[in-house]
Structure 1
């Protein structure tokens, strides 16, 4: 099983595209700015090349990690030490039977959603509590990551 870098890059870019829509003032942008206590001047004062460049890098890292959450066959490869050429014949038989099992957009989106709810939400929620942010801040940001991880998981898992 090889790493599909085109799928990872596409999934990473999808995070930015979803963010452009999600944080648009006509969607959740205005509510997010208020909940985050951000002003137009603060937003315009940022180094956008640095912000979007790092956001893309972080999204790529998330897409890379999502392979291990959404593609069950990576677990089988881990069981043989990552080198299928050193595996017992039963590994080849298993992969012949199940090598493409559950490799769909729908399945990846399910696992991405689960990751969003059980990983992103608690992290964002904990940080928000200590930053003294309200529920609206938590739900806007967590909602973004739940939707984004669902789409990213679908892309990573379904694109073979």
Structure 2
């Protein structure tokens, strides 16, 4: 039986960092202004947030996601190819994350724009994280 902590910790941390960096780019220069409009926040309101708690919490969630992906890869006795790891990470986002946020956004009546921005982010997040796990795994 596999130990829950018997994973490639370098891949876990670097995978989390990769996803975190994707978020900085996605919600910064690429979709930042559209996202702010979609959630109804101004730059001033965003700056008023507790950035340490927001970024710290987001990185902690990134670590959890990366550890879970690493654990998934480590539970099988067959070595996965890099392509399969990346596609599996993408599949997790497409099959679990996107439907979950989509359902939440439907019931909370969020805009389709916000859904597409956030769903796009999560797909890219998991692709980046999967690529790091594939590279280091």
Q: What TM-score comes out, normalization by structure 2 length?
A: 0.88
| 2:12 and 2:133 in contact (8 A); partners too | yes
Which residue does 2:124 correspond to in 1?
Answer: 147
Greater Cα shift, 149-158 or 10-19: 149-158
Whole-Å separation in 2 of the counterparts to 1:151 and 1:158 = 11
After TM superposition, the runs of 4+ consecutive aligned structure 1 residues lying more than 4 A away are: none
Higher relative contact order (CA 8 A, sep 6+): 2
Superposed displacement of residue 75, structure 1: 3.2
3-state DSSP class of the match of 2:41?
A: coil
1:108 pairs with 2:85: yes
Tell me which residue corresponds to 1:159. 136
Structure 2: which 5+ runs fail to align? none
- Cα distance between partner residues in 1 of 2:43 and 2:22: 20
- Give the length in aligned residue pairs: 133
Q: CA deviation at 1:14?
A: 1.1
Q: TM-score, normalised by structure 1?
A: 0.76
CA distance in 2, matches of 1:139, 1:36: 12
Give the whole-Å Cα distance in 1 for the aligned partners of 2:47 and 2:53. Answer: 13
